[in-house]
Structure 1
């Protein structure tokens, strides 16, 4: 025990022994500045200075833009730019998908690439459950008369299942004899109307021209997008009078009939009518006969 106490006293004396730090003029040895120090004071000052330096460094790194210059720390401006780029990329991707679907529908009109509509099995099963022998299906005279009136009214109505405040009707693009009818089995998704060369071709309804170019198989082609997801196509024209992006009105001249393209066999108009991405028989809604 005495040795331990002596050792503690010796260490304490070393820590508390006073020293003088003197700064002299090298030429004259004149004393300029002097400090009274001991080892304990020096230790305390070094510790406090280290703590202040570490605290200041942490503050600069955590709360000032200087941290951007330290390797390993991300830049706030770069993070903001990256966020904006990610948002812009998502928006462009959505627009690209929309345009791809849009161009896909145009390609279907040009190439006739149509998928077969699936058969509704549920409706067939439900129909088989009905016993037609127990039901009187003979229409009355009033029913027959009403059906005739409705049939005449709906012959040219392409949107009988949709409610609209606008009276939407289709204008015959040309008048003439139908030489080739609509036939899905032969992938003929329109009708051919024989007309003299350079006969004016008119728009079936108001809309926007979405395609107005030359194709090898069908010559000068124009495709117009109308309201209610309706698209009309005019093929084998001799010339086109409207460009892509132009607005047209119903009955407005958009082309002249001809016999252009590899698939044409004479002056005529090949006219197609597409609804919701699927072709339909134009002769059910437009009277082409002269």
Structure 2
């Protein structure tokens, strides 16, 4: 006589989904049946899944259609964003202004204390210094422009003679 062992005897989640179960609600004082329901695993799963999806959908609609959406981080109105940009620009300009005022105050303190004051180079350049600058002429040489134009005309004429465009 041989014994057959079942090694894979895990209860399956989907096994018996159509088997009926009865849920009975009884009043403890009178032992009277208040309600009775015929249920299956499948119907209970569908009920709880539907309740979950309905709750998520209702919460989403509630947040999107009411002012609750402004409490969600990153969901700001367009006017609030424009105001934020304007305030940031004001902060930057005030920061620049305070830095320049601090420089003025520091220079004033140096003058009062008799220390070195920052001097700016305000000397005008002489014509000789201007001629010595390598970038003195920003316009191209007129002769170079004429040579380039002549070359372009010659190339265009050759293309016309050979029938190319």
Q: TM-score, normalised by structure 1?
A: 0.28
TM-score norm. by structure 2 comes to 0.43
- Whichever structure has more helix as a proportion of its residues is 2
Instruction: Pick 1 or 2: higher relative contact order, CA cutoff 8 A, min separation 6.
Output: 1
